Amino acid sequence: MTHPEIVEKLKNQFGSDILEAYENYDMLNIHVPAYKIYSFLEYLKTDAELNFHFLTDLTAVHNPFDEGAEFLMVYHLHNMPKNIRIRIKASIPASNPSIDSIHQLWPSANWQERETFDFFGVNFIGHPNLIRIMNVDEMDYFPLQKQYPLEDATRQDKNDAMFGR
Amino acid sequence: MQDLTQLTEQQRELMQSKDEHYTLNLGPTHPATHGIFQNILKMDGERIMDAEQTVGYIHRAFEKLAEHRPFYQITPITDRLNYCSSPINNIGWHLTVEKLLGVETPKRVDYLRIIIMELARISDHLICNSILGVDTGAFSGFLYVFQYREKIYEIYEEICGARLTTNIGRIGGFERDLSPAAVQKIKNFILEWPKVWNEFESLFNRNRIFLDRIKGVGPISADRALAYGFTGPNLRAAGVDYDVRVAKPYSSYNDFEFKIPVGYDGDTLDRYLVRNAEIWESYKLIKNAFENLPEGPYHADVPEFYLPPKQEVYKNMEALIYHFKIVMAEIDVPKGEVYHSVEGGNGELGFYLISDGGRTPYRLHFRRPSFIYYQAYPEMIRGSYLSDAILTMSSMNVIAGELDA
């Protein structure tokens, strides 16, 4: 299936929910509203012709200057038999950074969503165990958000006099 | 038959209590888990009912770090993902940046990259299979085969100066051509390797005790493997012939013919045999690439990212300026968003790079195969013995650096 055929099929199914569809570096990108993400990904997975059965990657990007759409969820799907990849994007606002969990569609989304929660603070509705995965449980902020610097200025355990800068 | 309506309060409570399972803490530091990850096992006698995993002990904030480092300084970060095959990570990162910039590398660079990546793959699989032997108690195979891991590291040392965390190559190619010593070491490796791996296989492949220990252990079906995001040898052992080198060839892999070994049951024996067969395929690739190594430049023409020769920097104003700008990272990278993946030792290692036109990436995400497939571990060991669980973890080749990043 070519990229225009895929976009047309999706537009027939979802109509105005396809906010944007464009290509970059040979990859088709589709932007959908966040509340539609589960049904959209389910359609991509279960439709016999599209058959995007494999979830390659799930992550987020923080764009603090996009008012109302600060967090961009990015899903990479892959159709192995036809060798087609696709990138799905969904924006969520910082005031309510919630999106449906897709672990029912792909169990591999479980830890990837936990990692995205750990780094960005995105809340995945319906996730069975949404707790931090990489960082310590006591951490009280979401480090990969752009407002936080690389190093934690409040840490007490590293003495600059001894470690130098 | 006891009348269940006549139970005392205490008896009723005890019957409803599900906590008859024994909790065993496997890790975080344990000689048999290769890396630091904790598994809290719920066991019913000798059999494992469930496992609760904790990862992140070696989390080093690579993704945040990458947002503050110029592109050539991210290569040492990628070294430390799957550190058993760091050249593959380095070259994968360079390929991602080259894709963003639209750089095409000359054939010599591609073939050299193939030689180095396949040496890394041999090194990674060699470690996995020999350590699998050690976990069953068979030390000799590991002992003799590790001498050749040393030889591979000596080849890296000739090429880039480092053994384990190689930081090999540059954006656009390599920093220097193969020296005569490197050529000789690669030739020696090509001559000597078959005998070594044949010896290892003769110790294990038809060894009754080894086969009994690993056959039927930790199986996973192809459907469940795909649902859990498996890629690499673990997925191929389950029967799915997906290999990034064939699906989306990079670095001139499509110039070569090689087979993709595939298993049936996805159990430990299949993973072991798939890695063995892949070592033979990698060996053939190295031999072919080395014998057909074309002459030509060892780097692409990207003066904005590739350091000019030092002699030029001392004489030529333009070279001096480029040198300064590259080292101080005053180069602005074009805006763009790219996802590129390579076939790492454990599967599809993906780099999702968003550049906003500045000197460092805006967002860099590593799609790490170990992190994604390790989630399936509780499902693979449910119902098996503790010794089988250890072997399953060993054969899955979970590398802590790639798990946590």
Helix B107-135 × helix B140-160 angle, to 10°: 160
Contact predicate B331/B304, CB 8 Å? yes
Q: How confident is the model over B8-25, as a mean pLDDT?
A: 71
Domain residue ranges in chain B: 62-404
Q: How confident is the model over B11-30, as a mean pLDDT?
A: 74
Cα angle B201, B148, B282; round to 5: 65
Q: Which amino acid does the sequence have at B310? A: K
| Phi/psi of residue B279, nearest 5 degrees | -65, -40
**Looking at the complex, does the CB of residue B55 fall below 8 Å from at least one CB of chain A?**
yes
Could you write out the DSSP letters of every residue in A4-15? HHHHHHHHHHHG
CATH of the domain at A112: 3.30.460.80
Q: Which percentage of chain B shows pLDDT scores above 70?
A: 96
Domain assignment present for residue A104? The answer is yes
pLDDT at B13: 65
pLDDT at B14: 59
Q: Which residue has the higher pLDDT, B283 or B405?
A: B283
| Phi/psi of residue B29, nearest 5 degrees | -100, 120
Specify the 3-state DSSP secondary structure of A165. coil
Give the ipTM of the model, two decimals please.
0.93
At B4, the pLDDT band (50, 70, 90 cuts) reads low
pLDDT at B372: 95
Q: What are the tokens at B365?
A: 């995400």
Q: What are the tokens at B306?
A: 């590739």
Domain assignment present for residue A130? The answer is yes
Q: How many domains is chain A partitioned into structurally?
A: 1
Domain assignment present for residue A159? The answer is no
Q: How confident is the model over B165-185, as a mean pLDDT?
A: 94
pLDDT digits (tens, 9 = 90+) for B326-366: 999 888 899 999 999 999 999 999 999 999 998 999 999 99
Domain assignment present for residue A120? The answer is yes
Give the integer Cα–Cα distance in Å for A110 and B59: 18
pTM of the model: 0.93
| CATH entry, B62-404, from 1.10.645.10, 1.10.10.410, 2.30.110.10, 3.20.20.480 | 1.10.645.10
Q: What are the tokens at A62?
A: 């923080």
Q: How confident is the model over A14-25, as a mean pLDDT?
A: 93
pLDDT at B139: 92
**Looking at the complex, does the CB of residue A106 fall below 8 Å from at least one CB of chain B?**
yes
- Our CA dihedral for A120, A121, A124, A129, rounded to 10 degrees, sits at 110
CA distance B344 to chain A (A): 14
**Looking at the complex, does the CB of residue B68 fall below 8 Å from at least one CB of chain A?**
yes
Q: Do B229 and A25 touch (CB under 8 A)?
A: no
At B12, the pLDDT band (50, 70, 90 cuts) reads low
Q: Do A110 and B375 touch (CB under 8 A)?
A: yes
Mean residue pLDDT across chain B: 92
pLDDT digits (tens, 9 = 90+) for B95-133: 999 999 999 999 999 999 999 999 999 999 999 999 999
> Which of B338, B365, B372 is closest, CB to CB, to A108?
B372
Q: What is the chain A residue with the closest CA to B102? A: A25
Give the integer Cα–Cα distance in Å for B112 and B214: 36
pLDDT at A40: 95
Q: Do B367 and A143 touch (CB under 8 A)?
A: no
Contacts of A23 in chain B (CB under 8 A): none
- Measured CA distances, A72 to A37, A61, A106, B44, B307 (Å): 12, 5, 20, 44, 36
Contact predicate A13/A33, CB 8 Å? no
Contacts of B348 in chain A (CB under 8 A): 56
Contact predicate B226/B180, CB 8 Å? no
Q: Which domain holds residue A112?
A: 3-152
Q: Do A61 and B354 touch (CB under 8 A)?
A: yes
Q: What is the chain A residue with the closest CA to B403? A: A134
| Residues 6+ away with beta carbon under 8 Å from B278 | B121, B125, B233, B261
Q: Do A56 and B348 touch (CB under 8 A)?
A: yes
At B3, the pLDDT band (50, 70, 90 cuts) reads low
- Measured CA distances, B368 to B12, B17, B235, B347 (Å): 48, 40, 14, 8
**Looking at the complex, does the CB of residue A145 fall below 8 Å from at least one CB of chain B?**
no
